[in-house]
Structure 1
Amino acid sequence: MSPQNTLKKYERALASQNWKLVEPLMHKNVCVTFSNGTFKGLDEVRGVFVSNFGSIQDEKYEISNLHWAHISNTEAVCLYDFNWQGVIEGEMCSGGGRGTSVLILEDGQWKIITEHLGPFAS
């Protein structure tokens, strides 16, 4: 699988809100930065994703405007827009911003080792 296919699979896994589909795409030393903090290692990242999945019902998640800044035989960097919408505490909510994902090839599989999500630049 290519880094492009891995990121597309990741988008679908996030939209499913099922950690069991997300986890195989994450490196064991993954580091994820959201607006509420930076989470290091698979256990911390699992915790924040499962919490997010539990708080947003009927979520729709998508990425667009992908820009592959670097692709080599062992690493890849992609910048993109992300958007989500879903129900939080009975109320329809939505958001989005810019994301950066860094993927590395390990044991023949592309894995996300770093992800940074933030607001759109003003």
Structure 2
Amino acid sequence: MQILDSYIKATNTHDFKQVKKLLHPKAVYFFSDQTCTCHEEIQQYFENAWSIVKNENYEAHDVEWLDQKESSATCIYTYFYEGYINDEYICGKGRATNIFVKEADRWLLVHEHLSS
């Protein structure tokens, strides 16, 4: 589905305004170290990560759509990231689950769960 590609592309802009356009008003994120339950918390988490990992690139590999309906879709994938911390190249990967809902003919991310 195009919404996942759009979400990854928005994330890689490092501009939360672009990410927020694709978030449901009640979006909830489960990160490995924190749960974010509102856009302000999600924004703070993203912007903190972008300030630590410079030039970060985020990708979704091995995407599997578990369920696709008219108004909801769920996928799992392996996430991959790379960038620089203190001028040293770093990279890593983990597991992700994303749930999207369709409202007013727009797909929005309502939940993301990341684990290393």
Relative to the length of structure 1, the TM-score reads 0.90
* Superposed CA offset, 1:3-49 (max 9, x none): x1111011111122111211101111110111111110111111111
User: How many residues are treated as equivalent by the alignment?
Assistant: 116
**Where does residue 54 of structure 1 map in the other structure?**
51
Q: 1:101 aligns with which of 98, 102, 107?
A: 98
Q: 2:110 aligns with which of 93, 109, 113?
A: 113
Runs of 4+ displaced beyond 4 Å: none
Q: 2:60 aligns with which of 60, 63, 66?
A: 63
Aligned AA for 1:61? Answer: Y
Q: Distance in 2 between matches of 1:14 and 1:34?
A: 15
Is residue 72 of structure 1 aligned with residue 54 of structure 2? no
Q: Distance in 2 between matches of 1:5 and 1:51?
A: 27
Q: Distance in 2 between matches of 1:106 and 1:16?
A: 24
Q: CA deviation at 1:111?
A: 0.4
**Where does residue 16 of structure 2 map in the other structure?**
19
* Comparing 83-92 and 66-75, the one that deviates more: 83-92
Q: Is the 8 A contact 1:27 1:42 kept in 2?
A: no
Q: Which runs of 5+ in 1 are unaligned?
A: none
Is residue 7 of structure 1 aligned with residue 4 of structure 2? yes
Relative to the length of structure 2, the TM-score reads 0.95
Q: Distance in 2 between matches of 1:107 and 1:65?
A: 29
Q: Distance in 2 between matches of 1:23 and 1:89?
A: 28
RMSD across aligned C-alpha pairs, in angstroms? Answer: 1.0
Percent identity for Structure 1 against Structure 2: 27
Q: Distance in 2 between matches of 1:63 and 1:16?
A: 15
Aligned AA for 2:90? Answer: C
